[in-house]
């Protein structure tokens, strides 16, 4: 077990805990909040924007992670396959996104928030990151509560709430990275 523990610590250092992806996701949600608030788009067009905008998150996250000195994919590390598999699990939600886009575009913000947020839970384990556990669980619970209690303004409130969640997580992960760097 000590070997796995040391590999997890090592991959967290190599990837800088994926901090670039957390920053990119924060910017993604901020962009969605601003477009939702000010562009005046109809729900189907807004839903299309939400889906299309996801295409920039990974490249931006990779660049930001590199800027922070990390290797997001942990190339050459024994756990690199696990990192890639955990990141790729988001793609399993694409059929749901397509159906919601077609049938219920107003639910897309909720579905994206829950799906994108939930995938941080296994990264909480991998990186030993309380911030990622909190982000994963918090985004699912918060987006569901907003959608349930305030369905009409939810397409705006959810991106605003997610921006705040990801910003808080970004600060917490940055602290984890700094503490790890000092050790």
| Integer Cα distance of 55 and 166 in angstroms | 18
Q: C-alpha distances in angstroms, 118 versus 14, 27, 124, 140, 169?
A: 23, 18, 10, 6, 14
183 residues of the chain, pLDDT tens digit each:
569 889 999 999 999 999 999 999 999 999 999 999 998 888 888 888 888 898 899 999 999 999 999 999 999 999 999 888 888 888 888 888 888 888 998 999 999 999 999 999 999 999 999 999 999 999 999 999 999 999 999 999 999 999 999 999 999 999 999 998 786
Contacts of 160 (CB under 8 A, 6+ apart): 33
| Integer Cα distance of 73 and 159 in angstroms | 27
| Integer Cα distance of 50 and 58 in angstroms | 14
| Integer Cα distance of 117 and 79 in angstroms | 22
The residue whose two tokens read 């910003």 is 167
pTM for the full model? 0.92
36, 162 contact by CB (below 8 A)? no
Contacts of 127 (CB under 8 A, 6+ apart): 8, 11, 12, 15, 17, 18, 176
**Two tokens, residue 1:** 């077990």
């Amino acid at each position: 077990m000590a070997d796995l523990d040391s590999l997890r610590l090592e991959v967290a250092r190599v990837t800088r805990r994926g901090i670039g992806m957390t920053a990119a996701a924060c910017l993604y949600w901020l962009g969605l909040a601003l477009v939702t608030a000010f562009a005046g788009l109809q729900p189907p067009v807004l839903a299309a924007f939400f889906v299309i905008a996801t295409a920039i998150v990974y490249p931006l996250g990779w660049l930001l992670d590199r800027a922070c000195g990390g290797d997001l994919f942990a190339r050459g590390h024994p756990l690199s396959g696990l990192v890639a598999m955990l990141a790729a699990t988001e793609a399993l939600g694409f059929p749901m996104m397509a159906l919601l886009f077609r049938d219920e575009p107003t639910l897309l913000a909720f579905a994206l928030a829950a799906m994108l947020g939930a995938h941080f839970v296994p990264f909480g384990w991998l990186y030993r990151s309380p911030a990622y556990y909190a982000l994963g669980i918090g985004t699912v619970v918060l987006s569901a509560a907003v959608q349930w209690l305030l369905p009409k303004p939810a397409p705006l409130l959810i991106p605003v709430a997610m921006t705040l969640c990801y910003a808080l997580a970004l600060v917490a992960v940055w602290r984890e990275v700094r503490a790890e760097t000092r050790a």
